[in-house]
Amino acid sequence: MGFFLKIKAIALDIDGTITDERGIINLNALKTIRMLESKNIRVVLTTGNAFPVVMGLRKYLGCSGVVIGENGGIVGEYNNFVILGDSKIGLMARKLILEKLNQIFVESWQNPYRHIDFAFKLKINIPREKGLRILRDALKNIPNVRAMDSGVAYHVGDSRIDKGRGLEIAAEMMDLSLDEFMAIGDSDTDIALFRKAGLSIAVNNASENLKKIASIVTSKPYWMGFVEAIQYLR
What residues are labeled active site? 13
Q: What CA–CA distance (Å, rounded) separates 212 from 160?
A: 22
Burial degree of 234 (CB within 10 A; 0-12, 13-18, 19+)? exposed
How remote is the C-alpha of 58 from its chain's centroid? 14
Q: What CA–CA distance (Å, rounded) separates 202 from 206?
A: 6
Q: What CA–CA distance (Å, rounded) separates 124 from 93?
A: 20
- The 8 Å CB, 24+ separation contacts for 204-211 are 205/16, 205/21, 206/16, 207/151, 210/185, 210/186
Q: Write b or e for each residue in 181-198: b if 16 or more Cβ atoms lie within 10 A of its Cβ, otherwise e.
A: bbbbbbbbbbbbbbebbb
Contact 120, 103 (CB under 8 A): no
